Amino acid sequence: MALLQISEPGRTPDPHQRKRAVGIDLGTTNSLVASVISGTARTLPDQSGQHMLPSVVHYGSEGNVVVGEAARAMAVDYPENTLASVKRFMGRGLSDVKEDSSARQYRLSDCDDGMVRFETSAGDVSPVEVSAQILLALVDRAQETLAGTIDGAVITVPAYFDEAQRQATKDAATLAGIPVLRLLSEPTAAALAYGLDQSAQGLVAVYDLGGGTFDISILRLHEGLFEVLSTGGDTALGGDDFDEAIVGWVSEELGELETDRARYREMLREARAAKEALSSNETAQMRFSWTETRLTLSREKFEEMISESVTQTVRTCRRTLRDAGVGLEEIDAVVLVGGSTRVPAVREAVALWSGREPLADLDPDRVVATGAALQADQLVGNRPGDELLLLDVIPLSLGIETMGNLVEKIVPRNSTIPLQRAQEFTTYKDGQTAMAIHVVQGERELVSDCRSLARFELRGIPPMVAGAARILVTFQVDADGLLSVTAREEGTGVESRVQVQPSYGLREEEIANMLKASFEHAGGDKVARQLAERRLEAGQLLEGLQAALDVDGDSLLEVAERETIDREMLALQKMLDSEDDREIKRQTERLSRASEVFAGRRMNASISVALSGQALDSLDKELN
């Protein structure tokens, strides 16, 4: 008798067969891929034994593409065709990166979709396409090591990446043909790698300073639950900025204030080598191909150069702690992540801020990839018994534009994701059959002070009087932090939706400025909202009253009564441009009183029409 083999969801029929899952740390300077092998998460090396893949891609004139160490070696000779630190350009537009120090080494152009492009001899390429090449190289390495096709991958992103940057990362994975299980925030991945999901209870601060980005996250851990209470950071601050500081010093010392791209790339290479040397030595030597002058950089001078950047990370730590609503004394552990945390000045600053020695037992370059591999191993079904729940947050409020240029917030900032929030809206005009939905992000009260994310339309609304339609707008943010918005007319079920893919992302400085502005302008924003609401209310009254007068004004009003209403309407119309909401309110009330008699007569006339031709006994039956 044959037996039917039944397996648990997410598991293979063969209990000894494991799915191939990987964790990928797509870094600014270096990238890694890791997998769980024999129960242990480990990063996978290439054929020469190197675990870290330089995040550098070279585009040849004949269409050939080189990735990794070989590409980095070509940077000095072919600076415009060799692209590095592209993570800082992900999901960003040309206007956003023109002040970025990393931009000076490239020829940049804009595109219709708003994302920046790199001009190379092989044609224009986007940061998404460059990142896809890096991901392809990592997956090829993993498939060779694991001897088979990858079943799923977890890719890490900075906690402070917004929707545009996360979507750009997912687009790169899609372009590379990688089945993405989840986008995981780098701080959470690091906590997983340390095993804090099993051993720690309480609050953990994860300080993540990589090559191009900085994150600080406050996590609450309890019996397998990872809850991100708050997150802060800068998607354009990291070790690259330390390198740029050294390049600036070298330029002054050598009198090379204006350099071509080739010399700049050579200075950048020497700067990076000096920075790494100063983590273990007091001085570092620098030499260049075009001059016999050698420079000696001391650790003291280097720490002076980067002091403002390091101080900026500590300021962000303090602000993020306040956002979490906890005190520094409540933090049970501080974890260091990212290669730039090897800099002694960084470690000293973190220890001074936190009042404790931070955890740095694991390789800060590999910790994110190994944590992602553990998560991928679980999500692919190899560890179905593990109970682990990851709860992340969004950095800024999400909402839609309503009449009067007002913002109606539907999802407040620091809301835990994944989430779904809905709110009901209605039409503004009689007979309205369509509604424009404008999705915005920010903390201010007016749309003009917030950032536009997406626009779409809901069509097919049945024509009704203003205010009768019921439009349910639903915001859904998935576990990857990606937003979709749906608008549905409840009566007919007609629906429209959009996957929000804004054209470029926000830098931490921009997000911080938006939050700061929301506090500084709180009083003014309240007044502006009140004024907008008064104008909207007055406009609705004028429009509705004028429509009623056009139909029944001549038949239901005496000449003197009509003149009074027209006079009050004209006064309110002129007052719509006033900045005094109290005056608009008073005039609105005067017009309402002047039109009360007319409104009453219209109502009586409507009732008379409705009752005409009906017998009293039939009316009694309807009422009863």
Distance in angstroms (rounded) separating the CA atoms of residues 599 and 590: 14
Partnered with residue 58 across adjacent β-strands are: 66, 82
Q: At what angle do helices 522-556 and 581-594 cross, to 10 degrees?
A: 20
Active site residue 574: no
Contact 185, 392 (CB under 8 A): yes
Q: Which residues contact 116 (CB under 8 A, 6 or more apart)?
A: 89, 92, 93, 94, 96, 97, 108, 109, 110, 126, 127, 504
DSSP-derived letter for residue 445 is S
Active site residue 124: no
Q: Which of 96, 151, 163, 208 is catalytic?
A: 208
**Sign of torsion over alpha carbons 601, 602, 604, 609:** positive
Residue 562, judged by CB atoms within 10 A of its CB (0-12, 13-18, 19+), counts as middle
DSSP-derived letter for residue 177 is T
How many other C-beta atoms can be found within 10 angstroms of the C-beta atom of residue 162?
25
CA-based radius of gyration for the chain = 31
Rounded to the nearest 10°, the torsion over CA 511, 515, 518, 521 is: -90
Instruction: Please choose, from the candidates 195, 198, 206, the residue with its C-alpha nearest in 3D space to the C-alpha of residue 387.
Output: 198
Active site residue 365: no
Measured CA distances, 364 to 44, 182, 535 (Å): 16, 22, 56
Q: Which of 25, 96, 241, 489 is catalytic?
A: 25
How many other C-beta atoms can be found within 10 angstroms of the C-beta atom of residue 91?
28
Residue 455 backbone phi and psi in degrees, to 5: -135, 140
The secondary structure element, H or E, covering residue 603 is helix 596-611
Q: What is the 3-state secondary structure (H, E, C) of 559-593?
A: HHHHHHHHHHHHHHHHHCCCCCHHHHHHHHHHHHH
Distance in angstroms (rounded) separating the CA atoms of residues 65 and 571: 70
Q: Which of 162, 186, 197, 489 is catalytic?
A: 186
Active site residue 25: yes
DSSP helix/strand/coil, 285 = strand
Instruction: Please choose, from the candidates 204, 269, 226, the residue with its C-alpha nearest in 3D space to the C-alpha of residue 392.
Output: 226
Instruction: Identify whether 54 is preceded by a cis peptide bond (ω within 30 of 0).
Output: no
Instruction: Please choose, from the candidates 428, 403, 440, the residue with its C-alpha nearest in 3D space to the C-alpha of residue 534.
Output: 403
Active-site positions read 25, 87, 186, 208
